[in-house]
Amino acid sequence: MFRFFYQGDPMREAGKTLAKGALVLGLFLIGFGMLVFVLRDLFAFVAAAVFFMAGFSAIGYAIRIFWSTRRMNQSENGYRDNVQIHTHDPFE
């Protein structure tokens, strides 16, 4: 009765699926390698643009950190106007 649903050896099916995935990945990598070989100037430009934008991002992040540390040093005193501290009294 359960024989109708049984397709075959599960390890064999897993091996076939793994082999198909490896074949597709290999073909994709060969195709990408050929694309880089043919369009190397374009990929060099894209890589340069990525590094350029990463540099600007790092500079912006550094400026934000410097600005926040400068603001922290200006307000060293612990006194603030209109600040009230409320605590919960469990006996009320």
Per-residue pLDDT tens over the stretch 8-24 = 777 888 888 999 999 99
Residue 4 has what pLDDT?
Answer: 61
CA atoms within 13 A on the CB side of 27: 5
- Indicate if the pLDDT at residue 86 is higher than 70: yes
Percentage with pLDDT > 90 across the chain? 39
CB contact set of 36 (below 8 Å; sequence gap of 6+)? 43
What's the chain's average pLDDT? 83
- Indicate if the pLDDT at residue 88 is higher than 70: yes
Identity of residue 48: A
Residue 83 has what pLDDT?
Answer: 72
